[in-house]
Amino acid sequence: MNQSEQEILQQVACFLFDMDGTIFLENRLLPGALELVAFLLEKDIPHYFLTNNSSRSKLDYVDKLARMGLSVEAERIFTSGEATARYIQKRQPGARLYVVGTPSLEAEFARFGFSLVQEDPDYAVLGFDTTLTYEKLRLLCGFVRAGKPYIATHPDINCPVEGGFIPDIGAMIAFVEASTGRQPDVIVGKPYAPIVEAITEKTGFAPAQILMVGDRLYTDIALGRAGLQTALVLSGETRREDLASSLIQPDLVFENVGELYELLRWE
């Protein structure tokens, strides 16, 4: 461990881990994930899993991780879908929502007491919808064009999978903008302010005490602009050569979370 790595890790009181491309890829744990989580639990080091992927609920992630051999409590998982529900709840509890999302995302909003409607919503909400249909997009564009408050759960353009990528919510945002001329009024997920507020509330730590570990420069590593420490892993979307042309730079770079584990265990 070099001096700068040591200095950064000594400041960390809480770890935040992205999941897709960082902890796992599709249905496979990435190298070192199991060992790192076991180490953090053994040492009683605060850690949470923060994902922009709003197609799954925290309970879905508990089940998915368990199938891969990683036992994680639901309390440690925070999704952009939950953060979006909390964001709207603070402003209009019980609001009428038109939600473009998976059944899991719809259930997340229902748990917060919102009414899910097809007509005259208070908010139009766009999530990462792997059950997307033209009819859903048609209705969403109509509400956006009519001036309804328009919220997106996160900005990710692609979602990493084995062998490449699949279109994420960013592609859907682009579709809506092409049709309506509007971008979301608010994007909740990484790296935007609403998720930072939610993180500090959930963890109880100041941004400077938190290390965000993730594979995307424009979401995970961009949280550095909000004062978090950041560590890029090269196991998902970003390649090392991407760093040369990026204005967004991490504090640390690892091939995968296994390298972080090796540093921590010998610190």
Report residue 101 as tokens: 């999302």
Across 81-107, average pLDDT: 96
| Nearest CA among 43, 39, 83 for reference residue 199 | 83
Determine the Cα–Cα distance for residues 249 and 218; give it in Å rounded to an integer.
Answer: 10
Determine the Cα–Cα distance for residues 114 and 14; give it in Å rounded to an integer.
Answer: 32
User: Which residue pairs, CB below 8 angstroms and at least 24 apart, start in 252-255?
Assistant: 252/5, 252/8, 252/211
CA distances from 101 to 98, 125, 142, 149, 231 (A): 9, 8, 16, 17, 30
Phi, psi of 165 (to 5 degrees): -140, 160
pLDDT at res. 1? 54
Across 163-181, average pLDDT: 95
Name the residue ranges covered by the structural domains of the chain.
Answer: 3-52+190-265, 84-187
Predicted confidence (pLDDT) per residue in 132-162, tens digit: 999 999 999 999 999 999 999 999 998 888 8
Residue 120 pLDDT > 80, yes or no? yes
**Would you tell me how many other CB atoms lie within 10 Å of the CB of residue 57?**
22
Predicted confidence (pLDDT) per residue in 39-65, tens digit: 999 999 999 999 999 999 999 999 999
Q: Superfamily assignment of 84-187 in CATH?
A: HAD superfamily/HAD-like (3.40.50.1000)
pLDDT at res. 267? 67
**Would you tell me how many other CB atoms lie within 10 Å of the CB of residue 210?**
26
Same fold for the pair 3-52+190-265 and 84-187? yes
Mean pLDDT over the full length of the chain: 95
**Assigned CATH topology for domain 3-52+190-265:** Rossmann fold (3.40.50)
